[in-house]
Structure 1
């Protein structure tokens, strides 16, 4: 692998390391035109993560959305209060793996080592 590929992987894994950011992207992937108003996004992510929307709103607004925006994975329009996701190939592949990992089909096919 080249250094650029490794750098891209490192950056993508860092972005997706937080479950809230993964939830933001999962929600936006299924949103019409990949865009949602911030309040709707907060509610959907709070439901996905099992968190209080009021507490989550600040974390998304101040930390997670700017990080995703800085990485050019989402467009966070603070003025209009809209977040837009336009498919990012490496992020998409990683999110597909996450969905596969969570699926019942994957769980039935996995084998966990027996504890001794």
Structure 2
């Protein structure tokens, strides 16, 4: 996250508007808080039209960087992905069912 900023609700809404990012965060929240990048890629397998390679590219190059930029997740050693400073805020918004965070269906 930008070092002196806290994440705004508007930024959270934007980050959580994408169903794949919501699934990724739900996957992390359902564990002890640490998952591998491969587990996140696998959690997106319900996207029937996307190949494993396409999901991996999306996770590595689109979703993780966006979530990391605002402190929602952090990448650790060995491909580990852990909750960041803003993770609890994001998950709380998901659990409240905010308008940005509807069903994971397209």
TM-score range, shorter chain: 0.7 to 0.9
8 Å contact from structure 1 (residues 42, 53) kept in 2: yes
Q: Secondary structure at the match of 2:35?
A: strand
2:51 corresponds to 1:52: yes
Q: Matched residues in 2 for 1:90 and 1:21: separation? A: 14
Q: Structure 1: which 5+ runs fail to align?
A: 103-116
8 Å contact from structure 1 (residues 66, 76) kept in 2: no
TM-score, normalised on structure 1?
A: 0.68
Partner of 1:94: 93
2:89 corresponds to 1:76: no
8 Å contact from structure 2 (residues 45, 52) kept in 1: yes
- Structure number with larger C-alpha Rg: 1
Q: Secondary structure at the match of 2:67?
A: helix
8 Å contact from structure 1 (residues 38, 82) kept in 2: yes
- Which protein is richer in helix relative to its size? 1
Q: Alignment length, in residue pairs? A: 95
Q: Structure 2: which 5+ runs fail to align?
A: none
8 Å contact from structure 1 (residues 24, 45) kept in 2: yes
1:15-30 → structure 2 map (5 Å cutoff): 15-30=15-30
8 Å contact from structure 2 (residues 73, 87) kept in 1: no
8 Å contact from structure 2 (residues 26, 91) kept in 1: no
Q: Matched residues in 2 for 1:39 and 1:92: separation? A: 21
Q: Matched residues in 2 for 1:98 and 1:45: separation? A: 20
